[in-house]
Structure 1
Amino acid sequence: MGVCVKLASSDYGTGEIVFYRGLLGVVLMAGAARLHGGSLKTRVAGMHFWRSIAGVAGMCFWFYALAHLPLATAVTLNYMSSVWIAVFMLGGAALLGSARVDPRLVVAVLLGFAGVALVLRPTIEQQQLWHGLVGLMSGVVAAAAYLQVGALGRAGEPEYRTVFYFSLGGALVGLVLLAASGGFHPLDLRGFALLIGNGVLATAGQLLMTRAYSTGRALVNASLQYLAIAFSFGYGVWLFDDPVTATAIAGMLLIVAAGVFASLLRVRRAVVPASDPVNTA
């Protein structure tokens, strides 16, 4: 999906890519609901609204970062979401006046931010710090969206309904961005293939992600998601001649280690009834 977005970004703006991605998701999920006799009516519209707001914002930030940064860099910054969830947990403990803060969570967060510093170093040298910060923000907002996905799963919402409302939000936000940026660009065969490919792959990914984090094992999901960084690194070198630096690779490895470690700690905390850990990809 990231490859499709990066290739399409040379001809289409972020709003346009978000719109087509959302529109295709709406069509596919509405068709899936009809085919299987499901309903799109929901009793938790507010939860879907906030999940869509956070998810679409994160998607816009990420698509922008994909357009301007090396592929693996943009993907790695987005996958900081597991570390950001750990930050939220630490912040929540501080706000509630908890005297006991798990020092292992602090270690995970520090590892993650050390990795970010290494990953962002090449962007600073190339005057791309703004693009890097946008990519980092995509992970922050994605963390909030992923927490909401878990809450929707616990509320009994089926995967297709969650993905439908997220896609609907994306299509609407895409239209607003298009209106603000001058409208649609002409579609040629290449552009059509990239935009459709992005929509199909993204919708499939959202559906699988929603299923995995609603019913699967959080630690296994969190660990497997980081394979995306390895794939994006290979695609970036192969298709875009992205630079390979030891500093960036070291940063990626630190972020992966921090994310898996933070996920492991959240899984262990799940045994305690008062905790509410959720992670997703």
Structure 2
Amino acid sequence: MTKSPSPHTGSYLGSLWMIAAAVCFTMMGVLVKMSAQKFAMHGYELSFWRMGFATLVLGLHAGLTGGNFHTKYPKAHFYRSMVGGISVLMFFYGISHLPLATAISFNYTSAIFLAVWSVIILGQRPHPLTWFALVIGFGGIVLLLKPAIMSSGITPAIIGISSGAMAGYAYLQVRELSLLGEPSWRIVFYFALVATVLSAIATTIQGWTIITWEILPFVLGIGITALAAQLMMTHAYKVGRKFMVASLSYCTVLLSTLYGFVVFDEVLDILSLIGIGLIICSGILAGMRG
């Protein structure tokens, strides 16, 4: 039996890759919010451009490198991709209607909900540290929900937190697919493909925005930064120290808070800041037992 590598082993370069990924994730969020405000583009079509770009690039790369698209588990891929796709739609809706840092923080509750789903669905017995992480995590959510509802309304707040819950469930399904022997690229490709189709259907119902030369750099930027962030994050976990890399992933939340203040004049109250801090601590603690 092969022994799993220690989470304390790995190169410190992994930390730099994760910081770079956090910058790209933050820029994606900024471009999504700017597109929504500047061009009145809704979250469905922004999700389409984000996921469509990933589908095209990953599909071409797999085809050129001899990747096998055949899978023995089409239903598992479909369910995972549907849940992940809905999570992305909710996430982009949250970015468009909530303060940037709030929307990002809600999405980052996925680590908290992953632990919850593991208990409910898999019947796992959480470590005491995980229970502590869940308690402070949900405390942070409660603190963040109140000002979010006050400033943006209950619908964006509920959709925002739901994006984190759905993402946590999707990550649980990713684990299951990985245990079945499915390669990471195939899991991501089918997720991107199904999410692209899902967002295209939703956009057709809601209405498309004509892509002009002024809009084009924004939608391309969303696709490029999102894919670059995903690749950098994957590489960071591959070569870096697991706990350190997982902790640094929350730089996205901190950078989003800064960018929200500088670019969009979003000033968070003390309750929101405390709530964000608790969510970050909870995610790090939950990840230590992952």
Q: TM-score, normalised by structure 2?
A: 0.82
Displacement of 1:37: 2.5
Q: SS in structure 1 opposite 2:210?
A: coil
| Contact 1:14 1:63 (8 Å CA) reproduced | yes
Q: Which residue of 1 aligns with 2:25?
A: none
Which deviates more, 61-70 or 234-243? 234-243
Query: Which runs of structure 1 show a deviation greater than 4 angstroms over 4 or more consecutive aligned residues?
Result: 208-218
| CA distance, structure 1, for counterparts of residue 51 and residue 286 of structure 2 | 31
Given the alignment of the two structures, is residue 5 of structure 1 paired with residue 32 of structure 2, yes or no?
Answer: yes
Given the alignment of the two structures, is residue 192 of structure 1 paired with residue 221 of structure 2, yes or no?
Answer: no
Q: SS in structure 2 opposite 1:17?
A: helix
Q: Which residue of 2 aligns with 1:133?
A: 158
For the structure 1 residues 160 and 171, does the alpha-carbon distance in structure 2 shift closer, same or farther, using more than 3 Å as the test? same
The code of the aligned residue for 1:139 comes to G
| CA distance, structure 2, for counterparts of residue 22 and residue 256 of structure 1 | 26
- Of 82, 87, 90, 1:53 maps to 82
| CA distance, structure 1, for counterparts of residue 184 and residue 196 of structure 2 | 18
* 1:32-51 map, 5 Å: 32-51=61-80
Structure 1 unmatched runs, 5+: 267-281
Displacement of 1:160: 2.8
Q: Which residue of 1 aligns with 2:53?
A: 24
Which deviates more, 25-34 or 38-47? 38-47
Displacement of 1:162: 2.1
| Contact 1:6 1:66 (8 Å CA) reproduced | yes
* 1:159-238 map, 5 Å: 159-182=184-207, 184-209=208-233, 218-238=242-262
Give the structure, 1 or 2, with the largest relative contact order (CA under 8 Å, sep 6 or more): 2
| CA distance, structure 2, for counterparts of residue 74 and residue 90 of structure 1 | 25
- Of 120, 130, 142, 1:105 maps to 130
The code of the aligned residue for 1:262 comes to A
Q: TM-score, normalised by structure 1?
A: 0.84
| Contact 2:127 2:289 (8 Å CA) reproduced | no
* Cα shift readout 1:112-160 (whole Å, capped 9, x = no counterpart): 1111122222223225222111110000000011122233333333333
For the structure 1 residues 106 and 159, does the alpha-carbon distance in structure 2 shift closer, same or farther, using more than 3 Å as the test? closer
The code of the aligned residue for 2:285 comes to F
Q: Which residue of 2 aligns with 1:120?
A: 145
| CA distance, structure 1, for counterparts of residue 71 and residue 230 of structure 2 | 19
Q: SS in structure 1 opposite 2:70?
A: coil
Structure 2 unmatched runs, 5+: 1-27
| Contact 1:212 1:221 (8 Å CA) reproduced | yes
Displacement of 1:243: 1.0
Which deviates more, 105-114 or 55-64? 105-114
Which deviates more, 106-115 or 42-51? 42-51
Q: Which residue of 2 aligns with 1:264?
A: 288
Q: SS in structure 1 opposite 2:75?
A: helix
| Contact 1:218 1:263 (8 Å CA) reproduced | no
Given the alignment of the two structures, is residue 247 of structure 1 paired with residue 274 of structure 2, yes or no?
Answer: no
The code of the aligned residue for 2:155 comes to W
For the structure 1 residues 46 and 37, does the alpha-carbon distance in structure 2 shift closer, same or farther, using more than 3 Å as the test? same
* Cα shift readout 1:20-75 (whole Å, capped 9, x = no counterpart): 22221121011211332222222222222122111101101100000001100000
Q: SS in structure 1 opposite 2:215?
A: helix
Displacement of 1:208: 4.3
| CA distance, structure 1, for counterparts of residue 249 and residue 34 of structure 2 | 22
Q: SS in structure 1 opposite 2:170?
A: helix
- Of 99, 108, 111, 1:70 maps to 99
Tell me the matched-pair count: 261
The code of the aligned residue for 1:9 comes to A
The code of the aligned residue for 1:244 comes to L
The code of the aligned residue for 1:235 comes to Y
| CA distance, structure 2, for counterparts of residue 212 and residue 42 of structure 1 | 27
Displacement of 1:245: 2.1
Q: SS in structure 2 opposite 1:126?
A: helix
